[in-house]
C-alpha cells in the first residue's frame, strides 16, 4: 500500500511515449532545411490540404481498428463514391443530390460490410478485401475505365479546391471530422464501448455491451468517411478518376500503426493517428519538393509503414 | 530428506529487487530452494509472489540482485534460457494456445519431427503415456481445441506441459485455483512423486490448508519484502496468516443467517443443448450454492440465466413474473448480475485501466447523453478500489499490470454496485488472499441483508459449505441432488457430485 503514491516517471517512459512525435519534428526540421519552399505559409497550407482527405479516411479506419475490425475497402470506396458524385452531377443532376448519393453509397457499402461481418460472421479482413475489389470493379465498369472530364459546377469543386476566407474548404472539413472523432472516442460511452470490444469481445458482451451493434456502427462510420474523402478528392481533381483513392488504404493503415506507437502506446488512438497522417503527408510533400520522383516515394512510404508496425509491436507487445 | 544430496541448495536468490513503473514489487528479497523439497510461497495479493517466480523462470529480469543455480551465477534473458536450464513453470494466468489441441499444447516447442513434419501419432502415444504416468483418470479430449475445454482441464494441460520438460525445478503459481478437490489430490500425489525424484518445487496457493498439507518449508512475502522462511512443521495457520497480513482473522467464514424472504428467481424446466430440465429457486436473503465436477454444467447454467447463452426451453421468473432474458443487457436491467469465472477471458479487459474496467458494466450511470462524466466515474472507481482494497498504483493503471488476485477483485468489483438483486458469483474468490476473501464474504453478507439473493458457484468446498444456505449438486448437465441444513459435509457434497451413473 505504501507504493501507491510513488510515481516513478522515468525519462525512458516519456521517450517511449513520444518517440514518434519527436520523429515527426525531426522530419519537419529536416525538410525545412533540405527542401527550399517547404517551410512557407503557402506550402504548409498546401500540406494541410493534401492530408485532409487522408485524415478523414483514417479517422474512420481508426474507429474500425480500435473495435478490432479491418476495413480494406476504404480506398476503392472513396474512388467509387467520387465517381458516383461526378457522373451524376455531370449528367445534370443537382450537386447536392450527387453528393448525397455518394455519401449514400458509402453508407450502403458500410452496411453490407457490417452485415456480412457481424451477422453472417465472416472475418472483416475477408469481407472488406472482397468489397475493395467490388468497389473498384464498379467504378471501372461504370466509367469503362475512362476518366470523366466534363466541367464540374463550382458548387461541387468547392468541396475539394474551394476556399472559405484564406483557408481551403477541405481543411475545415478535416478539422470538424477529427474533432468529432476525438470526442466520440474519448468522451462518450460509444467510444468506451468500441475500445472495450477491441480489448476483449467476450468481456464486453458479458458486461452488457451489444458488441455486434457497435462493430456495425464502426464499419458504417468508416465507409461514410471514406465516401466523404472521395467527394473531396474528385472535387479537388475536378474530374472523375476511376482509379483514384486507392492509396488511402496503405497510407491510412500506416498512419494508424504509426499512431499506435505514441500517445497511448499499444492502442489505436486518434491523436496518434494524426501524427501518423502528418508523417505520411509530410513525407509525400517534402520528398516531392525535394525533387524525389513519385515511384521512389512509394518505397519510402512502404518502408515507413513496416517500421511503424515493427515499432508498435516491439514497444507495446501488441499483435496485429 | 535423509539423503545428503537432498539437502543441497539448488536455487539461491540474493537481495532481489524488482521495480515496475510506480511500484517496487520486490524489495531486497533473499530466497533459497533445496533439491527434493516442496517450498510454499505465500502472501497477500500483490505481495510479489508471481514477480519472484517470473524472475526465476526468465520472464522478468531483476532490477538488482543475483540468482544462483547449483552454485553458479546465472542471468536469464528470456524464458527459453530458463527452460533449457531445466526450469518448468505453470503460470498463474492461463498460458496456453486456445486454438491448439491438448497434444499440440503439451508439446509446444518440443514437437517430435521428422524432416520438419510433426509426428502426430507418436505425440499422441506419448501424451497418453504421460497421462497414465501421472495417474490422471480425467478424460480429456486430446484432439479438441483447448478453448472448448474447462478451466480445470486447461490447467491440467499446462501442468502436463511443464512436467513434460522433466525440469529440475518446477514452479507452480496457484495451480490449484481452478481445480476441484479430486484433481488437487492427483496433483499432490504427483508432486510427492517428483519430490522423491529430487525435483525442487515451488508451490504458491492462497489455500493455506493445501500449503500445510504439501510443503516442507514456507516463505512469506508481504508488500514485496520477505517476512521469513520456516519449516512447515514449525508454524500453524494463525501464525502464518499473521505473517502474511500482519493482523488476525477472527472468522474465516463470517456467515450471517438472514431471514429468508420471497422468491427472487425461479428457474423451471430449463434446457439447452447440454443442460437438462433444470429447476431451482433463489429467495431474498439466501445464498444458494452450486457444486459439481468440472464440466458438470454450472457455468453454462449461469451464463444461460444471464442471457449470454441461448436456452432451448424452460421458463425464468423474476419476483414471480415470467421474463424472457434474451441478452446480457436485459439481464442487467432486471437486476441480474454475473461475476464470471476466468477473469482474463471473461471478467476484465486487460488493456483497460482499473477505472475503465470497474465502470464498464454500469457506464450508463456515469453518462449524460452518451457523454461520460469523468469526475463521477473516477470517484466511483476510487471508492471501489478502497472498499475492496485493490492494490494498484492508481486507478489509471492498466489492468494487465495488476497481480492475479487484484485482477480478480476488479472482476468482482465491477459488479459490486448498482441495482443488482440477484448476484451470480462464479468462482468469485479464485486467487484471492485470505484477508480479502473475508472482505468479499462480508460484502456478500451485506448484499443478502439488503434482500438480494446470491448464487454461488465455487470449487472451494469449505467456502461453499460455509456460505450456502442450500447446495444444489450438478452432474452432466442436470441437478442431481440438493443438500441443506446446518451440517453439510465435504464428503456428502463430493459423494453426490462424483457418484458414477450406473444405469
Ligand atoms: N508488469 C507489471 N507492471 C507494473 N506493475 C506490476 C507488473 N507486474 C506486477 N506488478 C505489480 O507488482 C506487485 C506484485 O505483483 P505480483 O503479481 O508479484 O503479486 P502476487 O504476490 O503474485 O499476487 P497474487 O496473489 O494476486 O497473484 C503488484 O503491486 C503489481 O501491481
Ligand atoms: Mg500472483
Following DSSP, what letter does each residue of chain A receive, concatenated?
A: -GGGG-----HHHHHHHHHHHHHHHHHHHHHHHHSTTSSSHHHHHHHHHHHHHHHHHHHHHHHHHHTT---TTHHHHHHHHHHHHHHHHHTT--HHHHHHHHHHHHHHHHHHHHIIIIII---HHHHHHHHHHHHHHHHHHHHTT--B-SPPPHHHHHHHH-EETTEEHHHHHHHHHHHHHHHHHHHBHHHHHHHHHHH-HHHHHHTT--HHHHHHHHHHHHHHHHHHHHHHHHHHHTSB-TTTTTHHHHHHHHHHHHHHTSSSTTS--HHHHHHHHHHHHHHHHHHHHTT--HHHHHHHHHHHHHHHHHHHHHHH----
What is the model's pLDDT at position B3? 44
Nearest partner of B457 among B353, B301, B326, judged by Cα: B301
DSSP state of B143: T
Residue B6 has pLDDT above 50, yes or no: no
Dihedral pair phi/psi, residue B34, rounded to 5°: -105, 155
How do residues B455-477 score in pLDDT, each as one tens digit?
999 888 888 888 888 899 888 88
Spatial distance between the Cα atoms of A125 and B243, rounded to a whole number of angstroms = 54
Mean pLDDT over B358-372 rounds to 92
What is the model's pLDDT at position B503? 36
Tell me which ligand sits closest to the C-alpha of residue B25: 1
DSSP state of B398: B
User: Average per-residue pLDDT in chain B?
Assistant: 85
Identify residues of A whose CB sits under 8 angstroms from chain B CBs.
1-4, 6-10, 13, 187-190, 192-193, 195-196, 199-200, 202-210, 266-267
Quote the pTM value.
0.83
What is the model's pLDDT at position A113? 96
Residue A2 has pLDDT above 60, yes or no: no
What is the model's pLDDT at position A8? 43
The confidence band for A3, taking pLDDT boundaries of 50, 70 and 90, is very low
Residue B137 has pLDDT above 80, yes or no: no
Query: For A34-48, A230-244, B84-98, B214-228, which range has the lowest pLDDT when averaged over its residues?
Result: B84-98
What is the model's pLDDT at position B135? 67
Report the residue of A185, A206, A212 to disrupt the B interface, i.e. the one with the largest count of B CBs within 10 Å: A206
**Chain B nearest-CA residue for A11:** B21
Nearest to A199 among B338, B349, B364 (CB): B349
The confidence band for B51, taking pLDDT boundaries of 50, 70 and 90, is very high
What is the model's pLDDT at position A217? 96
Mean pLDDT over B429-455 rounds to 86
Pairing type for strands B225-231 and B217-222 reads: antiparallel
How do residues B389-428 score in pLDDT, each as one tens digit?
888 989 999 999 888 888 888 998 999 888 888 999 998 8
Q: Which single residue is written with the C-alpha cell 476510487? A: B382
According to CATH, the topology of domain A31-314 is ABC transporter involved in vitamin B12 uptake, BtuC (1.10.3470)
Mean pLDDT over B78-104 rounds to 84
What is the model's pLDDT at position B420? 84
The confidence band for A10, taking pLDDT boundaries of 50, 70 and 90, is low
Residue B294 has pLDDT above 80, yes or no: no
Instruction: Give the rounded percent of residues in chain B with a pLDDT score beyond 90.
Output: 29
User: Average per-residue pLDDT in chain A?
Assistant: 88
**Chain B nearest-CA residue for A12:** B21
Report the residue of B352, B356, B433 to disrupt the A interface, i.e. the one with the largest count of A CBs within 10 Å: B352
What is the model's pLDDT at position A314? 66
The confidence band for B138, taking pLDDT boundaries of 50, 70 and 90, is low
Cα B48 to middle of ligand 1, angstroms: 6
The confidence band for B91, taking pLDDT boundaries of 50, 70 and 90, is confident
| SS3 state at B137 | coil
Instruction: Sketch out chain B's domains with CATH numbers.
Output: 3-245 (3.40.50.300), 263-350+419-494 (3.40.50.300)
How do residues B238-285 score in pLDDT, each as one tens digit?
888 888 887 777 777 877 777 888 888 888 888 888 888 889 999 998
Mean pLDDT over B214-225 rounds to 92
**Chain B nearest-CA residue for A190:** B370
Nearest to B349 among A7, A8, A200 (CB): A200
Among A13-22, B124-133, B295-304, the range with the most confident prediction by mean pLDDT is: B295-304
Interface A–B counts its CB contacts (< 8 A) at 93
How do residues B316-360 score in pLDDT, each as one tens digit?
898 888 888 888 988 998 889 999 888 778 889 999 999 999 999
How do residues A97-129 score in pLDDT, each as one tens digit?
999 999 999 999 999 999 999 999 999 999 999
What is the model's pLDDT at position B136? 64
Ligand 1 in reach of B453 Cβ (< 6 A): no
ipTM: 0.85
| Distance from the A300 Cα atom to the nearest Cα atom in chain B, whole angstroms | 32
Amino acid at each position: 500500500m505504501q507504493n501507491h503514491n510513488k510515481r516513478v516517471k522515468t525519462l525512458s517512459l516519456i521517450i517511449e511515449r513520444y518517440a514518434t512525435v519527436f520523429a515527426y519534428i525531426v522530419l519537419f526540421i529536416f525538410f525545412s532545411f533540405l527542401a527550399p519552399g517547404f517551410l512557407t505559409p503557402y506550402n504548409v497550407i498546401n500540406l494541410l490540404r493534401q492530408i485532409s482527405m487522408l485524415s478523414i479516411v483514417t479517422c474512420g479506419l481508426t474507429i474500425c481498428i480500435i473495435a478490432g475490425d479491418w476495413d480494406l475497402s476504404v480506398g476503392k470506396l472513396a474512388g467509387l463514391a467520387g465517381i458516383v458524385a461526378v457522373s451524376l452531377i455531370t449528367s445534370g443532376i443537382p450537386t447536392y443530390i450527387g453528393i448525397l448519393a455518394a455519401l449514400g453509397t458509402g453508407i450502403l457499402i458500410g452496411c453490407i460490410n457490417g452485415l456480412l461481418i457481424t451477422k453472417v460472421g465472416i472475418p472483416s479482413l475477408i469481407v472488406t478485401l472482397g468489397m475493395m475489389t467490388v468497389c473498384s470493379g464498379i467504378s471501372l465498369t461504370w466509367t469503362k475505365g475512362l476518366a470523366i472530364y466534363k466541367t464540374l459546377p463550382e458548387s461541387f469543386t468547392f468541396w475539394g479546391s474551394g476556399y472559405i476566407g484564406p483557408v481551403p474548404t477541405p481543411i475545415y472539413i478535416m478539422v470538424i471530422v477529427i474533432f468529432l472523432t476525438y470526442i466520440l472516442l474519448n468522451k462518450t460511452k460509444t467510444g468506451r464501448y468500441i475500445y472495450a470490444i477491441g480489448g476483449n469481445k467476450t468481456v464486453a458482451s458479458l458486461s452488457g455491451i451489444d458488441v455486434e451493434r457497435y462493430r456495425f456502427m464502426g464499419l458504417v462510420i468508416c465507409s461514410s468517411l471514406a465516401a466523404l474523402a472521395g467527394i473531396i478528392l474528385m472535387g479537388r481533381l475536378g474530374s472523375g478518376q476511376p482509379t483514384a483513392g486507392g492509396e488511402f488504404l496503405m497510407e491510412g493503415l500506416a498512419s494508424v500503426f504509426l499512431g499506435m506507437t505514441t500517445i497511448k502506446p499499444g492502442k489505436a488512438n486518434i491523436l496518434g493517428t494524426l501524427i501518423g497522417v502528418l508523417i505520411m503527408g509530410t513525407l509525400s510533400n517534402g520528398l516531392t519538393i525535394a525533387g524525389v520522383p513519385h515511384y521512389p516515394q512509394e518505397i519510402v512510404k512502404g518502408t515507413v509503414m513496416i517500421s511503424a508496425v515493427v515499432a508498435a509491436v516491439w514497444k507495446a507487445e501488441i499483435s496485429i | 530428506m535423509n539423503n545428503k544430496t537432498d539437502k543441497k541448495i539448488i536455487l539461491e536468490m540474493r537481495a532481489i529487487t524488482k521495480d515496475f513503473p510506480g511500484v517496487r514489487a520486490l524489495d531486497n528479497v533473499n530466497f533459497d530452494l533445496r533439491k527434493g523439497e516442496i517450498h510454499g510461497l505465500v502472501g497477500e495479493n500483490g505481495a510479489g509472489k508471481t514477480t519472484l517466480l517470473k524472475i526465476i523462470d526468465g520472464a522478468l529480469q531483476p532490477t538488482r540482485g543475483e540468482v544462483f543455480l547449483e552454485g553458479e551465477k546465472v542471468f536469464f534473458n528470456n524464458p527459453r534460457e530458463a527452460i533449457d536450464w531445466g526450469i518448468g513453470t505453470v503460470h498463474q494466468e492461463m498460458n496456453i494456445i486456445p486454438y491448439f489441441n491438448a497434444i499440440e499444447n503439451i508439446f509446444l516447442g518440443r514437437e517430435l519431427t521428422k524432416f520438419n513434419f510433426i509426428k502426430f501419432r507418436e505425440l499422441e502415444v506419448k501424451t497418453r503415456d504421460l497421462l497414465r504416468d501421472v495417474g490422471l483418470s480425467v478424460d480429456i479430449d486430446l484432439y479438441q481445441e483447448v478453448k472448448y475445454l474447462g478451466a480445470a482441464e486447461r490447467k491440467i494441460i499446462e501442468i502436463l506441459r511443464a512436467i513434460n520438460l522433466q525440469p529440475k525445478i518446477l514452479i507452480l503459481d496457484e495451480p490449484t485455483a481452478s481445480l476441484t478437490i479430486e484433481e488437487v489430490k492427483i496433483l499432490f500425489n504427483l508432486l510427492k512423486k517428483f519430490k522423491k525424484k529430487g525435483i525442487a518445487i515451488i508451490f504458491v496457493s492462497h489455500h493455506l490448508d493445501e500449503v500445510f498439507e504439501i510443503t516442507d518449508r514456507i516463505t512469506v512475502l508481504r508488500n514485496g519484502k520477505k517476512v521469513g522462511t520456516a519449516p512447515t512443521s514449525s508454524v500453524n495457520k494463525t501464525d502464518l496468516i499473521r505473517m502474511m497480513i500482519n493482523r488476525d482473522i477472527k472468522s474465516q467464514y463470517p456467515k450471517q443467517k438472514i431471514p429468508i424472504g420471497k422468491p427472487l428467481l425461479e428457474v423451471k424446466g430449463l434446457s439447452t443443448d447440454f443442460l437438462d430440465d433444470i429447476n431451482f429457486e433463489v429467495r431474498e436473503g439466501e445464498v444458494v450454492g452450486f457444486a459439481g465436477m468440472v464440466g458438470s454444467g454450472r457455468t453454462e447454467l449461469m451464463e444461460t440465466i444471464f442471457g449470454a447463452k441461448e436456452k432451448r426451453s424452460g421458463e425464468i421468473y423474476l419476483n414471480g413474473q415470467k421474463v424472457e432474458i434474451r441478452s446480457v443487457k436485459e439481464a442487467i436491467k432486471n437486476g441480474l448480475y454475473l461475476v464470471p469465472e476466468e477473469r482474463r477471458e471473461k471478467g476484465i479487459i486487460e488493456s483497460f485501466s482499473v477505472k475503465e474496467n470497474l465502470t464498464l458494466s454500469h457506464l450508463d450511470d456515469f453518462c449524460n447523453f452518451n457523454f461520460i462524466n469523468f469526475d463521477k466515474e473516477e470517484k466511483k472507481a476510487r471508492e471501489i478500489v478502497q472498499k475492496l482494497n485493490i492494490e494498484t498504483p492508481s486507478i489509471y493503471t492498466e489492468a494487465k499490470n495488476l497481480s492475479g488476485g487484484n485482477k480478480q477483485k476488479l472482476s468482482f468489483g465491477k459488479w459490486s454496485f448498482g441495482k443488482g438483486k440477484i448476484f451470480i458469483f462464479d468462482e468469485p474468490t479464485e486467487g484471492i488472499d485470505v484477508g480479502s476473501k473475508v472482505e468479499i464474504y462480508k460484502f456478500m453478507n451485506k448484499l443478502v441483508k439488503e434482500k438480494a439473493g446470491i448464487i454461488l458457484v465455487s470449487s472451494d468446498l469449505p467456502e461453499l459449505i460455509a456460505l450456502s444456505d442450500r447446495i444444489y449438486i450438478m452432474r452432466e448437465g442436470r441437478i442431481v441432488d440438493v443438500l441443506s441444513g446446518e451440517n453439510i459435509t465435504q464428503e456428502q457434497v463430493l459423494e453426490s457430485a462424483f457418484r458414477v451413473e450406473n444405469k
